[in-house]
Structure 1
Amino acid sequence: MPRRILLAATVVSLLSGCDIPGLGPDPRIAQREEEAKAIGGACRHALRGLEDCYALNPKASKAAVFNGWKDMDLYMRENKIEGSPSVMGKAPGAAKPASDIETEPAEKKS
């Protein structure tokens, strides 16, 4: 009986140091967190506010976006880096030029 207990204790102590594949955290979760953190840093460098960053990236974790934004803010302040404003293109046909807008009703043809 004492041999079995000793053998079981030895096996358990040896296996406790093993890293069994498939039982660790999912790497996709860590990847999503790092991506959200990068989004936050990019928003800070582009001189965007946190609310705008959240609105532009609704699927990203807000906590990770905030951490990335905060880290980039600290880095930019320490190294005296000026941000560069983002240039977002307008969607084609989103707004008509003022000359194309009709202000009076069109004449009816009889």
Structure 2
Amino acid sequence: MKMPVYAIFLIALILSGCDQITQRLGLEDPGAKEVRLENDAKAVGSACRHSGRAIEDCYSIYSWLPRAGIFAGWKEMDAYMRENQLETIAPQLPPPEPPSNSKKKKKPAAAEAPAEVEAKKDVEGAAKSDGKSAEKAAGKH
């Protein structure tokens, strides 16, 4: 009698964790992902309108989101702001980088930093050596 109760409890526990497991593994239902992206796009579109950004700027900044959703959110916020006579609010932060490009851009930036340091050292070293060679040339003559 107790064994089936424990088995049912164990099965219920395992099945309740399926959503958490799939989310951690990055496995997402395509329909749910589409709905989530559409809602994100609407939120971004309305935020862009509220901050006074042009719709074309929102398209280019948030290129990974569907344009139709961005436009729908932008249009809804535009109507709301006109109806309630709200002013735009200037954005305080620069726009974020797309998720796929953020990892790629960080690595070259880190690689460029040592190259810039080496270039500065080479320029400083060349300037010092030019000064020394000029002094040596003046001393020899």
Superposition deviation, residue 87 in structure 1: 2.1
**What are the superposed Cα offsets for residues 1-38 of structure 1, whole Å, 9 maximum, x if unpaired?**
xxxxxxxxxxxxxxxxxxxxxxxx82221111011010
Please report the TM-score for the alignment, with normalisation by the length of structure 1: 0.58
Gaps of 5+ in 2: 1-29, 95-126, 134-141
Name the SS of the counterpart of 1:39 in structure 2.
helix
Name the SS of the counterpart of 2:75 in structure 1.
helix
Bigger relative contact order, structure 1 or 2 (CA pairs below 8 A, ≥6 apart): 1
Number of equivalent positions? 70
Name the SS of the counterpart of 2:46 in structure 1.
helix
**70, 73, 82: which one pairs with 2:78?**
73
Two-structure CA RMSD over aligned residues (Å): 1.8
Within 1, Cα distance between the matches of 2:92 and 2:65? 21
1:27 counterpart = 2:32: yes
Give 1:12's aligned residue: none
From the two aligned structures, give the one with the greater helix fraction: 2
The one-letter amino acid of 1:59's match is W
Within 1, Cα distance between the matches of 2:39 and 2:89? 22
1:38 counterpart = 2:43: yes
Within 2, Cα distance between the matches of 1:56 and 1:87? 16
Gaps of 5+ in 1: 1-24, 90-105
Give 1:55's aligned residue: 60
Give 1:64's aligned residue: 69
State how 1:78-89 maps to structure 2 within 5 Å: 78-89=83-94
